[in-house]
Structure 1
Amino acid sequence: MVGSAIVRKLESEGFNNPILRTRKELDLLDQTAVKQFYIADKPEYIFVAAARVGGIHANNTYRAQFIYENLQIQNNIIHYAHEFGVRKLLFLGSSCIYPRNAP
């Protein structure tokens, strides 16, 4: 997906030490865990492609839950990026977050 493509591009440009975490390794909904990540790993650049997503059916069925969790994820990441002096942050959103007939 997009995150994997970013990693491939960075590695092709000579960035050989990306700090990667799976959902199982770092729960971005857990504010304390996110803070501990910043303390332990001290990232300078953050590329955020993580989100709570589903297919069309899940997105329609769990709209409120998905937006709530995605807001928690973004708030945790952005808050601590600012607090710990991250140099650059790229935050990507999925096209699935927009309504079907969005202008």
Structure 2
Amino acid sequence: MITPDDSIFVAGHRGMAGSAICRALQGASYSNLLTASRAELDLEDGPAVQRWFEQHQPTVVVLAAAKVGGIQANNSYPADFLLDNLKIQTNLIDTGQSARRRGTERGS
């Protein structure tokens, strides 16, 4: 169960889904939200993700981050988008001392 005291990392907080999730959490009195822009944290960089988790130690992770493109980009580079998004997911879930290995709760 997530509590208002939990430290919640919303990966992808600037996107359509992530920003809506942040607003909903704030509206429900969750005030300890952690965010990081692409410039602050490259989610495709496993060691960077590990360092970030060690520094910030979130107790909950909400994964709303993804590399996206328009219809033409998705048609032209479908495997690239898939591979980049798998890197993001893998790094957040399983890289080094990140989420799963630190016992971080699953966000919904």
Aligned residues: CA RMSD:
0.9
Task: Give 4+ residue runs of structure 1 displaced > 2 Å after superposition.
Answer: none
What TM-score comes out, normalization by structure 1 length?
A: 0.83
Paired position in structure 2 for 1:42: 57
What TM-score comes out, normalization by structure 2 length?
A: 0.80
Paired position in structure 1 for 2:9: none
2:86 match: secondary structure: helix
% of aligned pairs identical?
A: 42
Query: In the TM superposition, what whole-angstrom CA distance separates every residue of 1:12-55 from its partner, at most 9, and x where no partner exists?
Result: 11111200111111100000010011100000111111001100
Q: Read off the aligned partner of 1:33 and give its amino acid letter.
A: A
Q: Is the radius of gyration larger for structure 1 or structure 2?
A: 1
* Cα shift at 1:89: 3.2
Counterpart among 82, 91, 104 of residue 76 in structure 1: 91
Paired position in structure 2 for 1:97: none
* Cα shift at 1:64: 1.2
Paired position in structure 2 for 1:26: 41
Provide the C-alpha distance between the structure 2 equivalents of 1:49 and 1:23, rounded to a whole number of angstroms: 13
Paired position in structure 2 for 1:87: 105
Counterpart among 6, 9, 17 of residue 32 in structure 2: 17
Say which structure is richer in helix. Answer: 1
Q: Are 2:22 and 1:4 aligned?
A: no
Question: What runs of 5+ residues in structure 1 fail to find an aligned partner?
Answer: 91-103
Asked whether the equivalents of residues 81 and 89 of structure 1 are also in contact (C-alpha less than 8 Å), the reply is: no
* Cα shift at 1:56: 0.4
